[in-house]
């Protein structure tokens, strides 16, 4: 059964006895109404794994008991559950109310929390939004979230966002029996590895946009790239917020002794941590490069304005010569030099032309024109 198949229905009967109660929704927190399409199931996939092999399908409400009885674990995939839906499921798995609250309301920063004998991890996902041309309003990076509940016999993934599907991941992981034999933490590793690999792809695509902007800013043509630079910097900040905080949770998984994470899994998480650090450095470098390009663009714009002002000032100085001479002779005094001379008019024109040519050559030699 894949993540796109219709899952078994949730139980209709009365809820289990142990159902955690969520605190009132914090002020300003997003509503718990899911963004999934009407009629789309909350349970994307549910399967029991024993010795690295997927077992025969069982109803979702019986999956945990079946996994415990067989000495395996259950992987339950959820997509944007409502408060009531996740509360019903959490009662069956004994999930901590605070973790359930975070999973319902979403919009959390990447983190790892330890509740008794269970783990709760939040990962931000990202995808690159294709666009024909980068503009001052282009959406470049779209983010979502994946929450992972990890226990001794279960792993529950809760997805928020349309781009963070795990269908392909589940299929690939089921082909790696040796990895699945390490238990539910193998799923957490696979999810974290997929998220970080996606960061690498997004950062590479954003690098192309940065290169295009850099070429545009330093091209001979005059371009207005300030708005595009600022928009790309804002979008890059979203990616940075998803990547940077992930280092600490991965470090805990790689170095600390955790009951639900076997020692054999530490090297896997250490590898993901190395990739996350590399992406963090890449994103940080892109951010610094964008800041430098933005400053260069502002400096170039200022230089262009200064050049325009010098040209305007030079032409104004040239035009001032005929204006001054015409103004003097336009005062119509009776006794003015060469007023009655036959060649007075051509002489004045010659003086004006000569003065303008000399001024033009002077301004041209000094780079003002």
Superfamily of domain 43-300: CorA soluble domain-like (3.30.460.20)
Convert the pLDDT of each residue in 214-262 to its tens digit. Answer: 888 888 777 778 888 889 999 999 999 999 999 999 999 999 988 899 9
Give the residue range(s) of CATH 3.30.460.20 domains in the chain: 43-300
Are the CB atoms for 198 and 191 separated by under 8 Å?
Answer: no
**Own/partner pairs for 83-86, CB < 8 Å, 24+ apart?**
83/22, 83/32, 85/10, 85/42, 86/158
Taking the C-alpha atoms of residue 20 and residue 153, their distance in angstroms, rounded to an integer, is 20
Instruction: Cite the DSSP H helix spans in 155-223.
Output: 167-174, 177-180, 185-217
Burial of 336-367, coded b for 16+ CB within 10 Å and e otherwise, reads eeeeeeeeeeeebeeebeebbeebbeebeeee
Token pair for 102: 């975070």
CB 195 within 8 A of CB 146: yes
Q: Angle, to 10 degrees, between the axis of helix 226-243 and the axis of helix 266-329?
A: 160
User: How far is it, in rounded angstroms, from Cα 213 to Cα 220?
Assistant: 13
Contacts of 93 (CB under 8 A, 6+ apart): 64, 149, 151, 154, 156
Residue 182 CB neighbour total at 10 angstroms: 18
Residues 176/54, Cβ–Cβ less than 8 Å: no
Look at the domain 309-365 and name its fold.
Methane Monooxygenase Hydroxylase; Chain G, domain 1 (1.20.58)
Instruction: Going residue by residue through the chain, which has 369 residues, state the pLDDT in tens, using 9 for 90 and above.
Output: 444 444 444 443 334 434 444 444 444 444 434 455 666 788 899 999 999 999 999 998 999 999 999 999 999 999 999 888 999 899 899 999 999 999 988 788 899 999 988 999 999 999 999 988 888 888 999 999 999 999 999 999 999 887 767 878 999 999 999 999 999 999 999 999 999 999 999 999 999 999 998 888 888 777 778 888 889 999 999 999 999 999 999 999 999 988 899 999 999 999 999 999 999 999 999 999 999 988 888 887 777 777 778 888 888 888 888 888 888 777 776 666 666 677 777 877 888 888 888 888 888 888 777
The residues of the chain that CATH labels 1.20.58 are 309-365
């Amino acid at each position: 059964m894949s993540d796109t198949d219709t899952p078994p229905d949730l139980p209709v009967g009365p809820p289990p006895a142990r159902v955690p109660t969520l605190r009132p929704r914090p002020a300003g927190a997003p509503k718990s109404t899911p963004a999934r399409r009407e009629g789309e199931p909350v349970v994307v996939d549910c399967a029991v794994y024993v010795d690295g092999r997927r077992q025969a399908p069982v109803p979702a409400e019986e999956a945990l008991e079946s996994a415990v009885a067989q000495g395996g674990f259950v992987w339950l995939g959820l997509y944007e559950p409502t408060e009531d839906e996740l509360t019903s499921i959490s009662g069956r798995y004994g999930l901590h109310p605070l973790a359930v609250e975070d999973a319902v309301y979403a919009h959390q920063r990447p983190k790892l929390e330890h509740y008794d004998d269970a783990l709760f991890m939040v990962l931000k996902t990202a995808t690159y939004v294709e666009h024909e041309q980068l503009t001052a309003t282009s959406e470049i990076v779209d983010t979502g979230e994946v929450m992972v509940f990890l226990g001794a016999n279960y792993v529950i993934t809760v997805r928020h966002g349309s781009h963070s599907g795990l269908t392909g991941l589940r299929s690939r992981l089921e082909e790696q029996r040796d990895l699945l034999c390490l238990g539910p933490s193998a799923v957490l590793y696979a999810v974290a590895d997929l998220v970080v690999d996606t960061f690498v792809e997004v950062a590479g695509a954003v690098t192309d946009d940065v290169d295009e902007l850099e070429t545009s800013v330093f091209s001979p043509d005059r371009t207005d790239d300030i708005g595009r630079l600022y928009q790309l910097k804002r979008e890059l900040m979203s990616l940075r917020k998803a990547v940077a905080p992930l280092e600490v949770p991965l470090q805990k998984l790689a170095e600390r002794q955790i009951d639900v994470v076997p020692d054999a899994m530490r090297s896997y998480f250490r590898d993901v941590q190395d990739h996350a650090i590399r992406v963090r450095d890449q994103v940080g470098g892109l951010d610094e490069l964008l800041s430098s390009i933005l400053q260069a663009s502002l400096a170039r714009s200022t230089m262009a304005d200064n050049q325009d002002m010098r040209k305007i000032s030079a032409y104004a100085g040239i035009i001032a010569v005929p204006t001054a001479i015409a103004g003097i002779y336009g005062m119509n005094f009776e006794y003015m030099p060469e007023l009655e001379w036959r060649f007075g008019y051509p002489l004045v024109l010659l003086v004006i032309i000569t003065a303008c040519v000399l001024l033009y050559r002077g301004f041209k030699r000094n780079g003002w024109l």
